[in-house]
Amino acid sequence: MSTLHSNLLVTGGAGFIGANFVRAHLAHDPTARVVILDALTYAGNLGNLEGIDAERCTFVRGDIRDTPLVCDLLRQHQLRALVHFAAESHVDRSILGPDLFIETNIVGTHSLLKATRLVWLEEEAGAHRFHHVSTDEVYGSLELRDAAFTESSPVRPNSPYAASKAASDHLVRAYHETFGLDAVITNCSNNYGPYQLPEKLVPLLIVNCLLGERLPVYGDGLHVRDWLHVQDHCNAILLALRKGVAGETYNIGGENERTSLEILRLVVSAIDHAFERDASLATKYPQCPAAAGRSCAELVAFVRDRPGADRRYALDITKARRELGYCPHAIAGPKFEAAFRDTVRWYMANDSWWKSVMDGHYREWVALNYNNR
């Protein structure tokens, strides 16, 4: 890899995908160095970075809206490429309070664009790369019969979160068109894997099964998402850094469309079977129904849906396959179910991690989101 793509500023690197990406990048490129800029909001956690070689990874606690700080980091560490993960990322939170989403996702992204324009275009022209990580939610919702979204599908975001990400995508594109910033956008589908905060569906279901708490299913549970292993996503970003063309957008999906109920059944069956095979789990998780020989399915509770809930997301990944050589499951293994069971096992084995992130603030949020549903 060239130094351009080896040494990176990674925003939001203490979050779920950012931390997985830092690990993947450092493992993939032995010469790589990373500077992480992360505000450590409720979603950021230094525990996600445990075990990473501090010689190769500098952590800076700071806000992406602090443009002078970003300029200083780019200059001081001579960084010419950036991967931008930092965001408010949870749809439910954007429904309860959109303001922070506007601040972080739109104003924050614009702050990074201003800093990179100043340092990379005005002070020291040369090769550079701004990689913006975005979401399939910007395209809005599909009916079951509709074809998957392509990169030229209209942008029709439905939640404040999705709208804020769409706005940030537009700003990145505009900085490319207007100022010549070398920028690439990837829009990906629902990630799952290690280090995901248990406010998102997959880890929430796993942790609630283990703690014997209810499994909240929004609406009829038939909303469809395209589930993507976080390692496949990180691999796609690494490919896009090297092969992505400035000004282009690439859809990154897992080609794994599943309803929430199908995901729930996978979680329940993985946990029920694990308890049958390993008697020590009953001692570790005595509140889990499987500890008493019952199925975790008894915890299912249908609750009120999100207002404006998107029915289905699906991504057409032809362009990323053709132009980047992207292939989902290249890392996670050939079968979605196998990768998914590995994820469930990771949470069963790493209870100290998820217990540490489920602090008082987390509990307050759960009460706010779920109590009146």
CB 117 to ligand DAU: min, Å: 26
Q: Which does 63 bind (CB under 5 to 8 A by kind): ligand DAU, ligand NAD, none?
A: ligand NAD
Q: Residue 104 or 249: which CB sits closer to ligand NAD?
A: 104
Q: Which does 313 bind (CB under 5 to 8 A by kind): ligand DAU, ligand NAD, none?
A: ligand DAU
CB 102 to ligand DAU: min, Å: 16
Write out the H or E segment, with its range, that includes residue 258: strand 257-259
Measure the CA–CA gap between 15 and 266, rounded to whole angstroms: 25
Residue 66, φ and ψ in degrees, nearest 5: -85, 85
- Assigned token pair, 4: 């351009």
Tell me how far the alpha carbon of residue 297 is from its chain's centroid.
27
CB 366 to ligand NAD: min, Å: 16
Q: Is 284 helix (H, G, I), strand (E, B) or coil?
A: helix
Q: Residue 139 or 285: which CB sits closer to ligand NAD?
A: 139
User: Is 137 in the active site?
Assistant: yes
Q: Which of residues 152-211 bind ligand DAU (CB under 6 A)?
A: 189-190, 200-201, 204
User: For residue 289, is it left (φ>0), alpha (ψ between -120 and 50) or beta?
Assistant: alpha
Measure the CA–CA gap between 226 and 259, rounded to whole angstroms: 9
**Contact status: 260 vs ligand DAU (CB under 6 A):** yes
Q: Which does 15 bind (CB under 5 to 8 A by kind): ligand NAD, ligand DAU, none?
A: ligand NAD
Tell me how far the alpha carbon of residue 227 is from its chain's centroid.
11
Q: Which of residues 158-217 bind ligand NAD (CB under 6 A)?
A: 165, 188, 190-191, 197
In the set 88, 137, 199, 257, the catalytic residue is 137
User: Is 50 in the active site?
Assistant: no
In the list 217, 267, 270, 332, the residue contacting ligand DAU (rule: CB under 6 A) is 217
In the list 8, 11, 59, 136, the residue contacting ligand DAU (rule: CB under 6 A) is 136
- Assigned token pair, 263: 């995901």
Measure the CA–CA gap between 270 and 273, rounded to whole angstroms: 5
**Contact status: 251 vs ligand NAD (CB under 6 A):** no
Q: Which does 343 bind (CB under 5 to 8 A by kind): ligand DAU, ligand NAD, none?
A: none
Partner residues linked to 228 by β-bridges: 191
- Of residues 239, 135, 116, the one with CA closest to residue 180: 116
From the number of C-beta atoms within 10 Å of its C-beta (0-12, 13-18, 19+), residue 87 rates as buried
Alpha-carbon distance values, 318 to 75, 95, 142, 149 (Å): 37, 33, 18, 11
User: Is 136 in the active site?
Assistant: yes
Q: Which does 164 bind (CB under 5 to 8 A by kind): ligand DAU, ligand NAD, none?
A: none
**Contact status: 133 vs ligand NAD (CB under 6 A):** yes
- Of residues 368, 260, 253, 270, the one with CA closest to residue 315: 253
Write out the H or E segment, with its range, that includes residue 9: strand 7-11
Site residues, ligand DAU (CB under 6 A): 89-91, 135-137, 189-190, 200-201, 204, 216-218, 223, 225, 260, 313
- Could you give the residue numbers annotated as active site? 136-137, 161
Site residues, ligand NAD (CB under 6 A): 11-12, 14-18, 37-41, 43-44, 63-65, 85-87, 89, 104, 108, 133, 135, 165, 188, 190-191, 197
